[in-house]
Structure 1
Amino acid sequence: MLDWKWAREHPEVVEESLRKRGMEPELFRELVGIDERRRSLQQEVDALRAERNRLSKQIGQYKREGHDPSQLLAEVQEISEKVKELETLLKEVEEEWKAKLLLLPNLPHESVPVGRDEADNQEVKRWGEIPAFTFQPRPHWEIGEGLGIIDFERAAKIASSRFAVLWKAGAMLERALINFMLDVHTQKHGYTEVFPPFLVNTQAMIGTGQLPKFYEDLYHCQDDLHLIPTAEVPVTNLHSNEILREEDLPLRYVAYSACFRREAGSYGKDVRGLIRQHQFNKVELVKFTRPEESYQELETLLQDAEEILRLLGLPYRVVVLCTGDLGFAAAKTYDIEVWIPSQNRYREISSCSNFEDFQARRANIRYRLKNGSLGYVHTLNGSGLAVGRTLVAILENYQQEDGAVIIPEALRPYMHGMEVITPQFEVK
């Protein structure tokens, strides 16, 4: 959430930032009004409590001096009833204010380009050569089904659409990618590996900004638990309600998890294939940093995610999201988009974001400076990478005319030396 004291003192900045996001500032103005009422009620309650305390002391003095305190007692009783009434009203106003504050998005960083939607995102760089095929490249679902390594029909039978079963070499490739990514990030980039729960409570979802905004996109379970849409949620909340030491920052974590998304707003999008699934695997990078270091850490986070694609020899580009396409909790985001030959375009495979102190305030993650004062950390995260989309990119970019798929050299040690996937792995 926003630093409300700062936001209240800089309303013009907040309103202009919201307009850059494509939002009118009505919610913010409503919050300002509720906050003014909240503070007015608090002042009234405080004044009444002070008067009650003054009268209570006077009652004691009256008793010691032998005077009749009945009039004062009646006044104290009347004030107590008024305080109780106002405290109830204050609690209601505070709850309304807190609930609406959770719906206010983060403000874009000054370096984020202003734009309406993804068409206004700005390309930062490209890497790799787009493959030139002597045949018409096939989509990954045709490649996978032809090799017998991807099965959508059986997945729909046991679950529903937007699920897949991976067989033999397909399952091996998925597992190889997970282990490869984890090894690169832990052994080369210095991240600490974490294996988190795949279910989290409501407060964890609030902490990273999934709730209440994205309720319809989540799978909700019993006992106040929700299936995670990304490992960002459990890993970021590992330090909720904690005070970290300044000398320990930055903290860098990497986690594999399955991810679960209802894709409530994606009707008709990427209906076939693995691009948009209800369940998918991802390797996530999460950082906790000092505020003054967070944007440099964003650049290194981006580089760490990019290197996975470079090692796999997959062509990609990087775009910086404009204000209108920026995620709810992010202050700045880079998207990495990998080349998908069958679609003749780049598709998102990673988002690397700096949330500044937006998530830290929601999850109460602070750090103690060397001078003893407390501050909120900045949190960052990025996909390092989305495993299913990486598998898609490998199948399509390394496809051969005879239907086989070459395995990138970097993955071969994780595939028991296998160099090519051929139809011999077809499930009978």
Structure 2
Amino acid sequence: MLDIKAVRQDPEAVAQALARRGFTFDVDQFTALDGRRKQADVDSQALLAERKSASKKIGQLVGQGLSVDEAKAQVNETLEKIAAQLDELTEQAKRVQQELDDLLLGLPNLPADEVPEGQSEDDNVEVARWGEPLAFDFNPRDHVEIGEALGQLDSETAGKITGSRFTVMYGELARLHRALIQFMLNLHTGEHGYQEIYVPYIVNRDSLRGTGQLPKFEEDLFKLRADQDYYLIPTAEVPVTNVARDRIFEDAELGESGLRFACHSPCFRSEAGSYGRDTRGMIRQHQFEKVELVQLVRAADSDRALESLTGHAEAVLQALALPYRKVILCGGDIGFSARKTYDLEVWLPGQSAYREISSCSSFGDFQARRMQARWRNPATGKPELLHTLNGSGLAVGRTLVAVLENYQRADGSVVIPEALRPYMGGAEQLGG
């Protein structure tokens, strides 16, 4: 959530910043709502002063010779009228405040100054590239053909069990999927300083509101029951970041580099708005798994933390020798809660294209303000909002896709990357 003080101070500047995202901020609507809220406060104070004055009049009337009961009877009519007006004004103020809160909850984050201009993914800017795509001496197949030829990838059975956008994996392929998870967790906890964390896969509305999925993106979520506010997580970002909700961390708890969490979890997304896109294979599924990286840091460390977190995700791709490129998202493509995002896009020979495998984002204090996630600054003794960051380190299914396609052989076998062989009992290939 944006700081309402900053919005009040210069709503036109906020509107200009949000326009870089393709979002229209109605300054007049905000100003009118905020004006009504302020007027309700003024009117309430005036009525409270009038009530205080009327109450004093009881003593004055007694001093003029009336009994206490007579004085109260004379003033009560005025007090009852004021009380009724106060009740009505209080309800009016609540309604206006709710409208104002709803408006603020619907505003996306302000993009960082360095975020490039643009309206879509076509305007994202490449900032780095690592590795060279392998030149095959045969026509490379996509991961679906490879997995089905191995007899270990089965979308048809998954469709019978559940429906479209699900997958069943067997044998070595299922083990390779598990090996990727273990490898990523070990790398991030052993070398990058993350604490492994296990969290619920079901969250409540407050948690989703805290990280920005609600109220705007409810159609993207799987709600469990109509009469309960429980949802399957779209990403581990939601429960992991919410460990800081309504908390004040002492400076010592943050250490030098803030709090770092690594979490493996399934993720569940309805993929609303993506119908017809990536319906084949494992690129865009309703259920998939990720190893999520979350950092909670002081504001002064925020920019540096984004670079380090992105580097940690890149380290997975480099360890697996998978060619990729790094892009910074333009204003029109950046996520609702993010102020700056790097996407890592891995090379997929089966598509002859780079495809997203990780998004690493800095949210500034946007999520923390919604969650009231704070730390106590020892210099002032006062609580300050944390800055939150997260990124996929990596999306497991897409990494599996990248391994299958980049390490395929003409005979249909797949070489297992050296970094994964200890997790595969020393096996060097799938099939063959």
1-structure distance, mates of 2:377, 2:56: 42
* Alpha carbons of structure 1 residues 416 and 72: separation in structure 2 relative to 1, 3 Å: same
Q: How does 1:392-407 map to 2 (within 5 A)?
A: 392-407=401-416
Q: Matched residue of 1:342: which SS?
A: coil
Distance 1:413 1:54 in 2: 82
How many angstroms apart in 1 are the aligned matches of 2:371 and 2:65?
55
TM-score, length-scaled by structure 1: 0.96
- Matched residue type, 2:398: R
Among residues 202, 212, 215, which one is paired with 2:215 in the alignment?
212
Which whole-Å CA distance do the structure 2 matches of 1:388 and 1:231 have between them?
15
Say which of 272, 285, 299 aligns to 1:277. Answer: 285
Alignment map for 1:348-359 (pairs within 5 Å): 348-359=356-367
- Greater alpha carbon shift after TM alignment, 81-90 vs 242-251: 242-251
SS at match of 2:290: strand
In the alignment, what sits opposite 2:241?
236
User: How high is the sequence identity, in percent, across the aligned residues?
Assistant: 53
Deviation for aligned residue 1:208: 0.4
Runs of 4+ in 1 over 6 A off after TM superposition: none
- Where do residues 324-363 of structure 1 align in structure 2 (5 Å cutoff)? 324-363=332-371
For 1:103 and 1:29, how far apart are their aligned partners in 2?
16
Distance 1:171 1:49 in 2: 69
From 317, 323, 328, the counterpart of 1:315: 323
Structure 1 residue 177: deviation in Å? 0.6
Tell me the secondary structure at the aligned position of residue 332 of structure 2.
Answer: helix
Would the aligned equivalents of 1:246 and 1:290 in 2 still touch at CA under 8 Å? no
Whether the aligned pair in 2 keeps the contact of 1:177 and 1:387 (CA below 8 Å) is yes
Of the three residues 408, 417, 428, the one matched with 2:417 is 408
2:306 alignment partner AA: L
Which amino acid letter does the alignment assign opposite residue 409 of structure 1? E
For residue 89 of structure 2, give the secondary structure of its aligned residue in structure 1. Answer: helix
2:197 paired residue among 194, 199, 224: 194
Partner of 1:426: none
Pick the aligned partner of 2:251 from 240, 246, 250: 246
Letter of the structure 1 residue corresponding to residue 248 of structure 2: I
Selected match of 2:110 from 107, 111, 122? 107
What one-letter code is carried by the residue in structure 2 that aligns with 1:343?
Answer: Q
Q: Between 242-251 and 131-140, report the one with greater CA deviation.
A: 242-251
The residue matched to 1:114 in structure 2 has which SS? coil
SS across alignment from 1:17: helix
Equivalent of 2:158, from 155, 158, 162? 155
Q: Which amino acid aligns with 1:264?
A: A
Residues in 2 aligned to 1:246 and 1:211: alpha-carbon distance in whole angstroms:
30
- More displaced 10-residue stretch of structure 1: 207-216 or 243-252: 243-252
Q: Structure 1 400/368 Cα, relative in aligned 2: closer, same or farther at 3 Å?
A: same
Of 214-223 and 332-341, the range deviating more from structure 2 = 214-223
- In structure 2, give the amino acid aligned to 1:172: R
Equivalent residue number for residue 385 of structure 2: 376
The aligned counterpart of 2:122 is 119
Q: Tell me the CA shift for residue 64 of structure 1.
A: 7.1
Deviation at 1:29, TM superposition (A): 3.5
Q: CA-to-partner distance for each residue in 1:378-402, whole Å, 9 max, x for gaps?
A: 1000000000000000000000000
CA distance in 2: counterparts of 1:196 and 1:168, whole angstroms: 28
Matched, 1:41 2:40: yes
| Structure 1 unaligned spans of 5+ | 424-428
The equivalent residue for 2:274 is 266
- Residue 139 of structure 1 corresponds to which residue in structure 2? 142
| Paired position in structure 2 for 1:93 | 96
Residue 74, structure 1, aligned to residue 73, structure 2: no
Which of 216, 221, 231 does residue 226 from structure 1 map onto? 231
**Would you say the 8 A contact 1:294–1:354 is kept in 2?**
yes
1-side partners of 2:375 and 2:50: how far apart? Answer: 39
Unaligned runs of 5+ in 2: none
Equivalent pairs counted in the alignment come to 422
Structure 2 residue identity aligned to 1:348: E
Instruction: Give a deviation string over 1:73-107, Cα, whole Å, max 9, x none.
Output: 22221111100011111111111211221111000
User: Over aligned residues, Cα RMSD in angstroms?
Assistant: 1.3
Residue 31 of structure 1 corresponds to 30
Q: Displacement, 1:186?
A: 0.4
In 1, Cα distance between the equivalents of 2:295 and 2:59? 58
Structure 1: which amino acid aligns with 2:33? I
**Matches of 1:359 and 1:153 in 2, distance apart?**
40
Task: Provide the residue aligned with 2:50 in structure 1.
Answer: 51
Counterparts of 1:331 and 1:71 in 2: how far apart (Å)?
61
So what's the TM-score if we normalise by structure 2?
0.95
Aligned with 1:95: secondary structure? helix
Counterparts of 2:12 and 2:300, CA distance in 1: 24
Contact 1:240/1:364 (<8 A) preserved? yes
Structure-2 residue corresponding to 1:6: 6
Measured in 2, the distance between the counterparts of 1:64 and 1:397 equals 96
Q: Secondary structure at the match of 2:402?
A: helix
Deviations 1:160-205 (A, max 9, x none): 0100001011110111111110110001001011111100000101
For the residue of structure 2 that corresponds to 1:410, the secondary structure is helix
